[in-house]
């Protein structure tokens, strides 16, 4: 919640006046897709926007802030992050940047995730909560006021559910919580991935569902194939969780079309998109979520978001903040990379 909105929950009405550029996100209210208003004011009441318009026409308010010509925009929504972890993998980034093929994310992918799994299992609840709270504060300072985070570094029923419990009960400010037991196959099940899927769709789901609204799966070679991903998402749906999918990050695969077919809220990553994938995204309700920090950090080829926008799909941007593939909590950075490298206009990226 912004400072102004916080004040609004105690004062009857709070106004911000002399805003140089106000992003309303409503084309009916102002210019372009962002609905931009210049020399504008906004009034909050009870934590909600009650009025927007020209500064000169602003109604009286109990508290008034002078923006002195600065821009004002709604808080960013970061819809994809992995903040329930312990340990540090910055050395992996350094090794990747040295250009050694063996250090590429493609090669290390699941191996790197298992490094974080070991550190996360060894951490106390207090350590997990402190790490999560640190990232939530860091995000807020950079303008993110709504965020999602997910499990996926525990990979046992107890470790996955306690991570989600930490997010639900010990740290304020995490609005959306996702169960990602199907991140990679737990090391204990390396020889029997089917048994791990049974765990994810059975006992682990039972333990995690009370703390989560969403269920996610990493549908990728080396993680879960299309049939396994379908089983995971179907089990989650049957428990009232809404699917989302890590899709087509490291290679072409069935993830995007599965997400659209199962009416997932989002298909995320989309680094490799076939024409059929783009067509599916354009025809369905699944949001195409791009994660520019991930291509940046793993030196992957940037996807062409223009192609997806022009096809008519709804596009979102998110940080994917995690210790391995995208160690940034900054939405402004992701907006900048999406414009610089992925064919989005500034207005589209901010929206
Ligand atoms: O979204 N792709 C799968 N999971 C994460 C990376 C996790 C990690 O490397 O620790 C992602 O990029
Ligand atoms: Fe992710």
Per-residue pLDDT reduced to its tens digit, 43-83: 999 989 999 999 999 999 999 999 999 999 999 999 999 99
Q: pLDDT tens-digit profile of 96-139?
A: 999 876 788 887 767 799 999 999 999 999 999 999 999 999 99
* Poorest-pLDDT segment among 10-14, 290-294, 317-321: 10-14
Alpha carbon of residue 32 to chain centroid? 26
Q: What is the pLDDT of residues 157-185, one digit of tens each?
A: 999 999 999 999 999 999 999 999 999 99
- Please tell me the predicted confidence (pLDDT) of residue 11: 55
CA 72 – ligand 1 centroid, Å: 32
Full set of structural domains in the chain with CATH? 3-74 (2.30.40.10), 77-350 (3.20.20.140)
Instruction: Give dist(CA 278, CA 4) in Å, integer.
Output: 40
Q: Would the CA dihedral through 291, 295, 296, 298 be positive or negative? A: positive
Give the Cα separation of 39 and 46 in Å (integer).
Answer: 24
CB of 330 sitting under 6 A from ligand 1:
no
Q: Give the side-chain half-sphere CA count within 13 A for 227.
A: 3
Q: Is the CB of residue 158 less than 8 Å from the CB of residue 171?
A: no
pLDDT beyond 50 at 347? yes
In degrees and rounded to multiples of 5, residue 299 shows phi and psi of: 55, 40
What is the model's pTM? 0.94
pLDDT of 172 reads 96
Label each residue of the chain as H, E or C. Answer: CCHHHHHHHHCCCEEEEEEEEECCCCCCCCECCCCEEEEEEEEEECCEEEEEEEHHHCCCCCEEEECCCCEECCCEEECCECCCCCCCCHHHHHHHHCCCHHHCHHHHHHHHHHHHHHHHHHCCHHHHHHHHHHHHHHHHHCCEEEEEEECCCCCCHHHHHHHHHHHHHHCCCCCEEEEEEECCCCHHHCCCHHHHHHHHHCHHHHHHHHHCCEEEEEECCCCECHHHHHHHHHHHHHCCCEEEEEECCCCCCCHHHHHHHCCCCEEEECCCCCHHHHHHHHHCCCEEEECHHHHHHHCCCCCCHHHHHHHCCCEEECCCEECCCECCCCHHHHHHHHHHHCCCCHHHHHC
Q: Bridge-partner residues for 246, per DSSP?
A: 218, 268
Average pLDDT of the residues in 296-315? 97
Task: Work out the average pLDDT over 296-314.
Answer: 97
Mutate to test the pocket of ligand 1, among 184, 324, 334 (most ligand atoms within 8 A of CB): 324
Residues paired with 178 in a beta bridge: 150, 214
The single residue listed with the structure tokens 């022009």 is 310
pLDDT at 1 over 70: no
Among 4-13, 228-237, 313-322, whose mean pLDDT is lowest? 4-13
pLDDT of residue 7: 44
CA of 316 to the centre of ligand 1 (A): 18
How confident is the model over 1-23, as a mean pLDDT? 72
Instruction: Decide if 211 contacts 171 (C-beta within 8 A).
Output: no
pLDDT of residue 301: 96
pLDDT band at 3 (very low <50, low <70, confident <90, very high): very low
Q: List the one residue out of 277, 242, 293, 248 whose CA is nearest residue 263.
A: 242
Residue nearest to atom 11 of ligand 1 (CA): 325
Q: Which of the pair, 73 or 7, is modelled with greater confidence?
A: 73
Mutating to test ligand 1, I would choose from 246, 266, 269 the residue with most ligand atoms within 8 A of its C-beta, which is 246
Q: Under a CB-based contact definition with an 8 Å cutoff, are residues 209 and 237 in contact?
A: no
Whether 249 lines ligand 1, by a CB cut-off of 6 Å, is yes
Rg for the chain, CA atoms, rounded: 21
When pLDDT is cut at 50, 70 and 90, the band that residue 23 belongs to is very high
CB 279 within 8 A of CB 257: no
Structure-token pair, residue 151? 């499990």
The pLDDT-based confidence of 303 (bands split at 50, 70, 90) is very high
Task: Find, among 284, 280, 281, 300, the residue nearest to 292 by Cα.
Answer: 300
How far is Cα 86 from Cα 80, in angstroms, rounded to an integer? Answer: 18
- The pLDDT of residue 108 is 76
* Atom number in ligand 1 closest to CA 116: 10
Q: Indicate the pLDDT class of residue 8, thresholds 50, 70 and 90.
A: very low
Lowest mean pLDDT among 10-24, 224-238, 303-317, 335-349: 10-24
From 92, 131, 217, 322, the mutation candidate for ligand 1 (largest count of ligand atoms within 8 A of CB) is 322
């Amino acid at each position: 919640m912004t400072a102004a909105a916080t004040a609004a929950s105690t004062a009857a009405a709070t106004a911000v006046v002399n805003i140089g550029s106000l992003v309303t996100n409503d084309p009916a209210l102002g210019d372009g897709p962002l609905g931009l208003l210049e020399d504008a004011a906004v009034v909050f009441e009870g934590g909600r926007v009650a009025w927007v318009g020209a500064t000169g026409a602003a109604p009286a308010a109990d508290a008034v802030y002078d923006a002195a010509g600065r821009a004002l925009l709604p808080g960013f929504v970061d819809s994809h992050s992995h903040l329930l972890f312990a340990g540090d993998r910055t050395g992996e980034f350094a090794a990747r940047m040295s250009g050694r093929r063996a250090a590429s994310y493609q090669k290390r992918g699941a191996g790197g995730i298992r490094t974080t799994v070991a550190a996360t299992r060894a951490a106390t609840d207090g350590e997990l909560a402190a790490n999560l709270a640190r990232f939530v504060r860091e995000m807020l300072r950079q303008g993110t006021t709504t965020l999602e985070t997910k499990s996926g570094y525990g990979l046992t029923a107890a470790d996955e559910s306690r991570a989600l419990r930490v997010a639900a009960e010990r740290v304020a400010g995490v609005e959306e919580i996702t169960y990602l037991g199907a991140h990679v196959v737990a090391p204990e099940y390396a020889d029997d991935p089917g048994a791990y899927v049974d765990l994810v769709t059975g006992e682990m789901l039972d333990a995690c569902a009370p703390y989560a609204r969403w269920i996610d799966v990493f549908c990728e070679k080396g993680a879960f194939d299309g049939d396994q991903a379908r089983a995971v998402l179907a089990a989650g749906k049957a428990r009232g969780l809404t699917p989302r999918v890590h899709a087509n990050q490291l290679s072409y695969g069935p993830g995007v079309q599965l997400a659209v077919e199962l009416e997932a809220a989002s298909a995320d990553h989309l680094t490799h998109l076939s024409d059929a994938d783009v067509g599916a995204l354009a025809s369905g309700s699944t949001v195409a979520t791009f994660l520019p920090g991930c291509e940046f950090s793993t030196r992957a080829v940037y996807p062409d978001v223009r192609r997806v926008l022009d096809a008519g799909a709804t596009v979102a941007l998110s940080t994917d903040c995690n210790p391995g593939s995208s160690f940034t909590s900054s939405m402004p950075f992701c907006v900048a990379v999406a414009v610089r490298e992925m064919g989005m206009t500034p207005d589209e990226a901010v929206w």
